[in-house]
Structure 1
């Protein structure tokens, strides 16, 4: 849970690096929260109002952690746009997010594993 809160605290931070664990734990909690909000929307009979508000509120943190995840591999944040390639883009993004980062400092900062170890 602290990974989710840590990402939200870095609301619009696009610099630095993020570990795989930070990215995937945030994604896990974010998807779980979206499901819960969808259920609440359905039970309340509102159109996807709460869902849209939550998705809008967490858009910048999820974009930020995705870009920091790419920085951990020494790639520019612009690589996130690979996801827009039809049919294979989303698979490529999953592979990029699952790839281990560089163990040494790179142009985006020190290794997050070394900082938290």
Structure 2
């Protein structure tokens, strides 16, 4: 969940890098939310009618709030693999472009340490095993603090926060 919340907190941030884990966790959670919203629209609200095109309000809301973060996390993932964010436009090429972008998302970083696009995200996050004393962004610090408070409470204790 860290990858999803970090991506949502970095909504308009095209600079920097995102790790493979962060990208794929964000993608998985956003797809699960989309399918959940689609299920609620069809099963509960009854928005599926034969011959009528259109999506329900929850599905449209889910799509709209995830469009920009999807683009930004993809650009940051391209930065992590040493490529320019302009490679995102390859997805507009029918069939081949989307498949090629998916292949690029599976490539690892171009090496350890910083590259032209910023520090290695595996070394600057607090949950990485080889974490260094590197300052985090405000969004990353917020998510790390939230995660630390959750871990301190334990998995079975009720939340006292409102």
> What range describes the TM-score normalised by the shorter chain of this pair?
over 0.9
Which range moves more in the overlay, 12-21 or 1-10? 1-10
Matched, 1:80 2:88: yes
Which has more radius of gyration? 2
- 1:1-117 matches, within 5 Å, as 1-43=1-43, 44-46=45-47, 47-102=55-110, 103-116=112-125, 117=130
The residue matched to 1:18 in structure 2 has which SS?
coil
Measure how far apart 1:104 and its partner are.
2.7
Structure 2 Cα separation of the partners of residues 8 and 86 of structure 1:
28
Whole-Å separation in 1 of the counterparts to 2:2 and 2:123: 18
Distance 2:69 2:95 in 1: 26
CA offset digits 1:4-25 (Å, max 9, x no partner): 1111111111100000000001
What is the CA–CA distance in structure 2 between the aligned matches of 1:115 and 1:2, rounded to whole Å?
Answer: 14
Answer 1 or 2: higher relative contact order, Cα 8 Å, separation at least 6. Answer: 1
Task: Give the total of aligned pairs.
Answer: 117
Q: CA RMSD in A?
A: 1.2
TM-score (ref. length: structure 1): 0.93
CA distance in 2, matches of 1:58, 1:40: 18
* Higher-helix-fraction structure: 1
Report the 3-state secondary structure (helix = DSSP H, G, I; strand = E; otherwise coil) of the residue aligned with 2:104.
helix
Unaligned runs of 5+ in 2: 48-54, 131-162
Tell me the TM-score normalised to structure 2 length.
0.69
Unmatched runs of 5 consecutive residues or more in structure 1: none
